Amino acid sequence: MINGFDSLVITKLDVLDELEQIPVCVDYQVDGKSVADMPPSSDDLAKVQPVYECLPGWNSSTFGISDYDQLPGRARDYLHYLEKVTGVEVGCISTGPERTQTIIRKGSRFEQLLG
């Protein structure tokens, strides 16, 4: 609410490779009503329930991929979904622990910052 985001970094995309479905939290509810702000009391906070939307997994390896176009189609769909719901581009994606296992999206704000 205070800080703005220009570009998202998605880490450990490869950890999701084997999942049949990928749950994405899209809302929080207290007593069946959506809440946009942190509940003021610990009692209300204890009642918060996440609401998930499940996206299809891709069931293929993304490990070590360093080119966005080589990602499985459903992995790209997942990243596009994150962009859509957040309103912020995904500029960097890691597909493994090494620096070479990173995708910097062409034309992204993240790429511009690395210059």
State which of 54, 70, 96 marks the end of a domain: 54
Q: Residue 112 — φ and ψ, nearest 5°? A: -65, -40
Predicted confidence (pLDDT) per residue in 33-69, tens digit? 999 888 888 988 899 999 999 999 999 999 999 999 9
Position 7 pLDDT exceeds 80: yes
Q: How many C-beta neighbours within 10 Å does residue 17 have?
A: 16
Q: Which of the 8 DSSP states describes residue 98?
A: S
Q: Is the dihedral of CA 102, 71, 85, 51 positive or negative?
A: negative
Predicted confidence (pLDDT) per residue in 74-112, tens digit? 999 999 999 999 999 999 999 999 999 999 999 999 889
Q: Residue 52 — φ and ψ, nearest 5°? A: -110, 145
Same domain flag for 75 and 89: yes
Cβ(100)–Cβ(106) below 8 Å? no
Q: Return the CATH number at 75.
A: 3.90.170.10
Strands 49-56 and 21-30: antiparallel
Q: Based on the structure, what is the number of domains in the chain?
A: 2
Could you tell me the residue range of the domain that residue 46 belongs to?
Answer: 23-54
Same domain flag for 35 and 15: no
What's this model's pTM, rounded to 2 decimal places? 0.88
